[in-house]
């Protein structure tokens, strides 16, 4: 009896293709399991990554103090004190701003009612029924905005266990970072690719976070100053919100713009709201969209699609803190899975690293 057609021996290329397909399916299954694990332990993973990023950023300060003659333990202690003081000062400013904000929006309930009525009249003139208009505005309440913004900022800089965990991890990681170069030297002979990938990761994250923080502080200061000039209430809070959302790529600008623009609309009308939008657009366009890419250079090397998906995925897994740490987390995944694996480095251009890639010249149409 002749053998069936599908029972014929497969070529080496067919077997290799099946092996790659099986590895791809197993890898995707493992990624799903890891994602569920990250979501389950988000209250621990998020603060841990935040502490790691802060430790990476302050590492040059500790090295600089050691070069000045400070002992390793003393240099670490000085850096820890500086980080704690900055954290406490920022938290105090945030608490004061939120306390003022809690009484801010309810003061404009009458203006919100007038705005709702004018918008409802406009919708009804377009043929939208009163029931649909009422359903649209049923979810809009100035009092709810207070809870949403407070919950967003509070979930990022939560008090209690998360704050204690972050501060404790910063202390321990800063102390352990003094031995980082010795550990890397021991691991380099056995895992040179992994060590080089992690070293490059620390450099990239440090450059990105420090540049983003410095330029974000400049943007926040200019935004707050402009809001003070325009007479918008809660200028300090909106400046802090602009600083925080500056770490969220692509959509952070809109998150920081909508609350002050909406408050300006309630307090002073459309001209002031448009002025807020224009001021934010100019400041963000000049500093964050113009200067930041040139300063950070190839520190991130992620295309816009990957950056946006990073925010979506990590915010879904870790909450608002995941949106702020989206790029450092994605860079860490790339360092472990792509940069440390010579066989997978071909994926870097697809992820956005175009260093060394020259664009093809456009051919002129033949006449």
Reported as a single tens digit per residue, the pLDDT across 231-250 is 988 888 888 888 888 888 87
- Non-local CB neighbours of 287 within 8 Å, separated by 6+ positions: 215, 218, 219, 222
Specify burial of residue 310 (Cβ count, 10 A radius: 0-12, 13-18, 19+).
buried
Query: What tokens appear for 184 in the block?
Result: 């890397």
Average of per-residue pLDDT across 112-139: 69
pLDDT the model gives residue 274: 94
Reported as a single tens digit per residue, the pLDDT across 148-207 is 555 555 555 554 557 778 888 888 888 888 777 788 888 888 888 888 989 889 988 998
pLDDT for residue 23 is more than 90: no
Provide the 3-class DSSP secondary structure of residue 350. Answer: helix
pLDDT the model gives residue 362: 46
Tell me the C-alpha distance between 218 and 288, whole Å.
Answer: 10
Provide the 3-class DSSP secondary structure of residue 111. Answer: helix
CB 209 within 8 A of CB 57: yes
Q: Which residue has the higher pLDDT, 1 or 11?
A: 11
pLDDT for residue 7 is more than 90: no
pLDDT for residue 133 is more than 70: no
pLDDT the model gives residue 226: 93
Confidence band, pLDDT 50/70/90 cuts, at residue 305? confident
Confidence band, pLDDT 50/70/90 cuts, at residue 90? confident
Q: Which residue has the higher pLDDT, 2 or 329?
A: 329
Reported as a single tens digit per residue, the pLDDT across 251-290 is 888 888 888 898 888 888 889 999 999 999 999 888 877 7
Q: Which residue has the higher pLDDT, 60 or 27?
A: 60
pLDDT the model gives residue 288: 75
> Would the pTM of this model clear 0.75, i.e. be above it?
yes
pLDDT the model gives residue 339: 87
pLDDT for residue 225 is more than 70: yes
- Non-local CB neighbours of 302 within 8 Å, separated by 6+ positions: 310, 327, 330, 331, 334, 351, 352, 353
Tell me the C-alpha distance between 271 and 277, whole Å.
Answer: 10
pLDDT for residue 125 is more than 50: yes
102-116, 131-145, 249-263, 297-311: segment of lowest average pLDDT: 131-145
Q: Which of 45-59, 108-122, 282-296 has the highest mean pLDDT?
A: 45-59
pLDDT the model gives residue 329: 93
Confidence band, pLDDT 50/70/90 cuts, at residue 228? very high
Handedness of CA 54, 55, 60, 62 (dihedral sign): positive
pLDDT the model gives residue 89: 80
Tell me the C-alpha distance between 222 and 225, whole Å.
Answer: 5
Confidence band, pLDDT 50/70/90 cuts, at residue 134? low
Share the mean pLDDT of the chain.
79
Q: Which residue has the higher pLDDT, 72 or 128?
A: 72
pLDDT for residue 2 is more than 60: no
Provide the 3-class DSSP secondary structure of residue 34. Answer: helix
Q: Which residue has the higher pLDDT, 355 or 367?
A: 355
């Amino acid at each position: 009896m002749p053998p069936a057609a599908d029972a014929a021996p497969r070529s080496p290329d067919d077997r290799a293709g099946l092996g790659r397909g099986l590895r791809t399916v197993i890898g995707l299954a493992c990624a799903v399991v890891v994602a569920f694990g990250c979501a389950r332990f988000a209250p621990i993973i998020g603060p841990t990554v935040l502490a790691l990023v802060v430790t990476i950023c302050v590492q040059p300060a500790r090295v600089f103090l050691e070069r000045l003659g400070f002992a390793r333990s003393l240099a670490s202690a000085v850096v820890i004190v500086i980080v704690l003081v900055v954290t406490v000062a920022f938290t105090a400013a945030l608490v004061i701003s939120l306390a003022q904000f809690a009484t801010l929006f309810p003061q404009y309930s009458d203006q919100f009612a007038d705005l709702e009525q004018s918008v409802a009249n406009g919708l009804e003139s377009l043929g939208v029924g009163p029931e649909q208009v009422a359903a649209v505005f049923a979810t809009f309440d100035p009092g709810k905005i207070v809870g949403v913004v407070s919950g967003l900022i509070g979930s990022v800089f939560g008090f209690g266990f998360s704050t204690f965990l972050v501060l404790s991890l910063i202390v321990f990681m800063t102390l352990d970072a003094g031995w980082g170069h010795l550990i890397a030297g021991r691991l380099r002979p056995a895992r040179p690719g992994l060590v080089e990938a992690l070293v490059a990761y620390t450099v990239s994250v440090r450059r990105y976070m420090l540049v983003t923080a410095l330029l974000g502080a400049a943007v926040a200061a200019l935004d707050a100053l402009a809001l003070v000039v325009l007479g918008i209430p809660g200028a300090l809070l909106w400046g802090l919100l602009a600083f925080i959302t500056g770490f969220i790529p692509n959509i952070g600008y809109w998150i920081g713009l909508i609350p002050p623009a909406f408050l300006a609309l309630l307090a002073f009308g459309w001209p002031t709201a448009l002025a807020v939008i224009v001021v934010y657009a100019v400041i963000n366009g000049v500093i964050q969209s113009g200067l930041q890419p040139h300063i950070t250079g190839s520190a991130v090397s992620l295309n816009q699609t990957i950056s946006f998906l990073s925010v979506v995925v990590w915010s879904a897994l870790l909450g608002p803190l995941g949106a702020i740490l989206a790029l450092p987390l994605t860079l860490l995944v790339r360092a472990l899975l792509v940069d440390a694996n010579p066989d997978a480095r071909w994926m870097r251009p697809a992820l956005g690293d175009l260093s060394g890639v020259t664009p093809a010249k456009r051919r002129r149409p033949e006449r």
